[in-house]
Structure formats: structure tokens, C-alpha cells
Amino acid sequence: MNVAKSGYRVFSANSSVACTELAKKITERLGVELGKSVVFQESNRETRVDVKESVRGQTIFIIQTIPRDVNTAIMELLVMAYALKTSCAKNIIGVIPYFPYSKQCKMRKRGSIVSKLLASMLAKAGLTHIITMDLHQKEIQGFFSFPVDNLRASPFLIQYIQEEIPDYRNAIIVAKSPSAAKRAQSYAERLRLGLAVIHGEAQCSESDMADGRHSPPCVRNTTGHTGLELPPGKQQAPFPGIELPMMMAKEKPPITVVGDVGGRIAIIVDDIIDDVGDFVAAAEILKERGAYKIYIMATHGLLSADAPRLIEESAIDEVVVTNTVPHEVQKLQCPKIKTVDVSMILAEAIRRIHNGESMAYLFRNITVDD
């Protein structure tokens, strides 16, 4: 289908061949050709983009999958979006299945909310809309000054459970921490299965990291501002009769499993699987409690560092992820890793947005808590 018939173009902003596979699947489903462009890194590691065809007055979709080199992928997307903007494209819509820096969406000590910074950069580069999938926190959508469609991978993963896991009716959905219980509950209710939660962790979870704006003071006695400058390292004396209460430190309980997993198939669900240490530890606990098979289901399979080796050597029987992130190398290293294709819903989202159709069909039966 040529541009005259379709009215839009689809480009890939990746310089890596492995990262263009999802873009090719999406364009095949849409019946359009991938736009002609060249994205490459110069000898000094600068990103260069050359768009090889006219985009004036057209709606452009940029598909960008995020490989291990996250920062390069971001620059490729920004440079291509700006190139299309300066080439007079009418609308520039980013298709970013895995949104990078999504875990850095809260203030940590004297850090920054990087996902908000990235949202501002994308808007400045020329994007007018993005399509993504399973944001780490749904509130990230509020960082953007333009529309965000946050698609869900759960229908595909639930279908995999029903079709590929024998005797899934004897399974139980497991949240590896209390913070993941809401997602696990959604799976359990849709599959009509029980729910278990692992409580107690060996290390601090993300939700326990200190917030620099609201964290309790390091010392018990603190005072208000008096306008006097003190030398570094000196504590200001409290006002007479003023003593603020000190926050009690948290203490993790011993690891326990809330729910009966004995003689059951345990299915751990999450949005991202990157550093697999927590998943491996959870699998060992579930094995000790009597689970005879353990599956991991996640939308984004980053699988960094030694993740394939750790999975292969662990009690985990299978790790199922979608193709939002390229992981073919990891699959060669670990046959336990399986892939679910989500190009269908991404292609349908592109088609509906271009035709001005409602997106409600893609969110049917999806609730606020999902």
C-alpha cells in the first residue's frame, strides 16, 4: 500500500537490525511499507538520521523499541522526531512499547524525576502523541503535554496461560511483593484462580526508597528557620519546648507466603523482569512451600546482565515475556525464555488513531486498577 492510499507512514528509529523486527511485524499487519530512512552512529558516537522520502503534511508513526543501549535509542527517537518535524510532517506519533526510565518516576533523595524530563524532551522534539504498553506507573501519563495511549499486554499473557500451561486450573497467581498484589489480583480474577502474596524481602523494595522531600530527619531534634547561618556540620539548637517526633525505622519481617501454594502451579506476574534476583528468590520460596511448577509472566523482558544464566540455573520452569523489548540473544542463552507477540494490538492502535476511530475496543474490560 502506498502513501496515497494509506495517508500515513511508519518509520523505525532503530539503528540496530534486531530492534527493527517488531516494526516489520507491525507494518506487515498494516499492509504498508516501512518508511525509507537511515539511522546510524557516526565514528564519534553521534546519532545521525536521514529521512529518504517526503513526509510533508503526513501523519507519521515512529516505532522505537528500546535495546540495552537505552540512551542511544532515546537519542535516535529524538533526532528522528525532530527531523520529521522540520520536514513539515503533520502529526508525529511515537510507538514506544517499553517506555524507558519509567522506574525513575518518583523523587529519590536529591535525584530527579527522569521520566518527566524524558516526556518534556519528546514533546520538544515534535511528538504529538505516543502509544506505549504497561507503563511502570500509570501516573506517568500525567507527565506528558499530549495524549498517551497505555495499552495492556495482559490479554495476550492470559491467553498464553490458558493455551500453553497444562492444567492451569490448578495454578495460583503469585505477587512477589505486596506492591505487585494489585496486578496479580487482576490476573487471578480474570482466570478465576487463587491469589498468593510473598511478604518480606531481603533488600529494600522500590517503594521503600527514601524520598528526599518527605523523608524523616536524620536526627531527633530539628528546628525551624531562624535566619542564622551555621558552619557546615553544625546542628542548630532547637527552640525551647520544641521536639518533633522521630519516625520509627521500618523492619522487614521474615519472608512468608500469604496463601497456599502446596501442590499448585505458581504463576508470578509483573510488568518488568530485568534483574532476576528477586524472581529467583521468590521461586525458591515457592518451591519450599510445595509449588511443583513455577512460571514468570511479564510484559517487558529486559533480562539484563546474567539474567539468562540465573534463570537457567534456578527453580523457574519458564519465563514468558512479550516482544516489546528485543531479547533474541537471551533466548539463545536460556531455552526457558518464551515470547508472546503483541504486534497485533500495536498495529490496531495505529490503524484506529489514523482513521480517527475510538480506542475503547482496545481497552474493553480494562479497569482503572489494571
pLDDT tens by residue, 46-60: 999 999 999 999 999
How crowded is the C-beta side of 97, counted as CA atoms within 13 Å? 31
Measure the CA–CA gap between 143 and 279, rounded to whole angstroms. Answer: 30
Q: Is the pLDDT of residue 241 over 80?
A: no
| Three-class secondary structure of residue 170 per DSSP | helix
pLDDT at 242 (0 to 100): 74
Q: Rounded mean pLDDT of 195-202?
A: 83
More confident residue, 202 or 297: 297
- Distance between CA 34 and CA 133 in Å, rounded? 21
Q: Give the count of beta carbons closer than 10 Å to the beta carbon of residue 278.
A: 20
pLDDT of residue 218 exceeding 90: no
Q: How far is residue 115 CA from its own chain's centroid?
A: 11
Q: Is 70 exceeded by the pLDDT of residue 119? A: yes
- Distance, in Å, from the CA atom of 326 to the CA atom of 324, rounded to the nearest integer, reads 7
| Single-letter residue type at 45 | R
Give the containing element (helix H, strand E) for 99: none
- Give residue 238's pLDDT: 59
Q: Among residues 17, 35, 150, which one has the least CA distance to residue 83?
A: 35
Contact 81, 113 (CB under 8 A): no
Element (H or E) spanning 286, and its range?
Answer: helix 277-288
H helical segments located in the chain: 3-6, 21-30, 70-86, 114-125, 154-164, 181-191, 277-288, 307-312, 328-333, 343-355
List, as one string, the DSSP characters of 122-166.
HHHHT--EEEEES-SSGGGGGG-SS-EEEE--HHHHHHHHHHHST
Instruction: Indicate the burial class of 2 (C-beta count within 10 angstroms; 0-12, 13-18, 19 or more).
Output: exposed
Q: How confident is the model at residue 370 (pLDDT cuts 50, 70, 90)?
A: confident
- The CA-based dihedral angle spanning residues 260, 265, 269, 275, taken in that order and rounded to the nearest 10 degrees: 100
221's grid cell = 531534634
| 275 φ/ψ angles, rounded to the nearest 5 degrees | -80, 115
Residue 347 one-letter amino acid: A
- Reported pTM: 0.86
**129-133, strands of its sheet edge to edge:** 8-12, 59-63, 91-96, 129-133, 148-151
Per-residue pLDDT band at 334 (split at 50, 70, 90): very high
Q: What is the pLDDT of residues 172-186, one digit of tens each?
A: 999 999 989 999 999
pLDDT at 222: 46
Q: What is the pLDDT of residue 1?
A: 45
Cβ 89 vs Cβ 55: under 8 Å = yes
Residue 2, pLDDT score: 45
pLDDT at residue 292, as a whole number: 95
Contacts of 227 by beta carbon, 8 Å cutoff, 6+ apart: none
133-184 per-position pLDDT tens digit? 999 999 999 999 999 999 999 999 999 999 999 999 999 999 999 989 999 9
Per-residue CA distances from 140 to 98, 113, 122, 149, 214 (Å): 13, 10, 14, 11, 20
- Least confident range of 21-35, 240-254, 314-328: 240-254
**Mean model confidence pLDDT for the chain:** 88
**pLDDT at residue 67, rounded to an integer:** 86
Q: What is the pLDDT of residue 236?
A: 60
The pLDDT, as a whole number, for residue 202 is 53
Is 231 or 222 the better-scoring residue by pLDDT?
Answer: 231
Name 298's bridge partners.
270, 321
